[in-house]
Amino acid sequence: MGGKASLLVVLGFSMIFLVVGLNFSNLSTRAVDNYSSYYTVTKAYDIAVSGANMAANQIFMDKTWDAGYQNLSFDGGVLNVYVSNTITGTAGKVLICHTPPGNPNAKHSMWVPVSAVPSHLAHGDYLGDCSGQSSGGQTATIISEGTYNGVTKVVEVLLRGSSFAKFGNYYSTMSAYPATGDTFEGPFHVNEWLTTYGSPVFWGKATSAKGLKMMGSPKDPKFYGGYEDGVNIPLEFDTTNLRSNADYIFYDTTRTKSLVNVRLYFNSDGTLTYSQKIGAGNWSSSKTVNLSTFAPNGVIYVQGGNIYTKGTLNGKVTIVAAKSKITNAGNVYFEDNLVYNKDPRIYPNSTDMLGIVAEQNIRIQDNPNTRGKDIYTQASMYAQNGTIGPEDGLINQNFLGQWNILGGLIASNTRATAQYDYKGNPIRGLKFVHRYDNRFLTSVPPSFPNTKSYEVVSWLE
Partner 1 sequence: MSTGQLFITVGAIVLLTLVILRINNVFFSTSSVMLDTKFGVMAVSLGSSIIEEATSKAFDSATDTSSVSSLSSLTDPLNLGPESGEVYPNFNDFDDFNNFSKSTEGDSTFQSAVFNIKCKVVYVNPTNPDVPSSVKTWHKKLTVTVTSPSMSDTVKLSTIFSYWYFR
Question: CA–CA separation, 366 vs 99, rounded Å?
Answer: 61
31 near partner 1 (CB under 8 A)? yes
Any contact of residue 233 with partner 1 (CB under 8 A)? yes
Give kind and range of the element (H or E) at residue 122: helix 117-122
Q: Does 283 bind partner 1 (CB under 8 A)?
A: no
Task: Using CB under 8 A, pick the residue from 3, 104, 132, 218 that binds partner 1.
Answer: 3
CA torsion sign for 231, 138, 388, 344 is: negative
Residues 87-126 interacting with partner 1 (rule: CB under 8 A): none
Residues 6+ apart with CB under 8 A from 127: 94, 95, 96, 97, 117, 121
Using CB under 8 A as the binding rule, whether residue 64 contacts partner 1 is answered as no
For position 72 contacting partner 1 by CB under 8 A, the verdict is yes
Residues 6 or more apart whose CB falls under 8 angstroms from that of 152 comprise: 44, 100, 101, 102, 103, 145, 146
Cα→Cα distances 374→369, 402, 406, Å: 10, 5, 14
Judged by CB under 8 A, does residue 453 bind partner 1? Answer: yes
Return phi, psi of residue 118, to 5°. -55, -45
Per CB under 8 A, the list member of 124, 128, 150, 211 interacting with partner 1 is 211
Whose Cβ is closer to partner 1: residue 191's or residue 324's? 191
Q: Which of 13, 126, 283, 399 forms a contact with partner 1 (CB under 8 A)?
A: 13
**46 touching partner 1, by CB under 8 A:** yes
Nearer to partner 1, 68 or 429 (CB): 68
> Which of 93, 189, 316, 434 is the binder for partner 1 (CB under 8 A)?
189
Contact string (CB under 8 A) for partner 1, positions 137-176, x = contact: ----------------------x--x--------------
**What is the DSSP secondary-structure string of 348-376?**
TT---EEEEEESS-EEE--STTTTTS-EE
- Beta-carbon count within 10 A of 423 CB: 6
Q: Quick one: which of 44, 59, 246, 354 contacts partner 1 (CB under 8 A)?
A: 59
User: In a 3-state reduction of DSSP, which class is residue 114?
Assistant: helix
Closest CA relative to residue 317, chosen from 273, 356, 290, 354: 354
- With respect to partner 1, which residue has the nearer C-beta, 99 or 451? 451
Pairwise CA distance, residues 338 & 359, whole Å:
20
38 binds partner 1 (CB under 8 A): yes
Least distance to partner 1, CB of residue 362, Å: 23
- Residues in contact with partner 1 by CB under 8 A are 2-4, 6-7, 9-11, 13-14, 17-18, 20-21, 24-25, 27-28, 31-32, 34-35, 38-39, 42-43, 46, 49-51, 53-54, 56-61, 69, 72-75, 79, 159, 162, 187, 189, 207, 209-212, 228-233, 451, 453-456
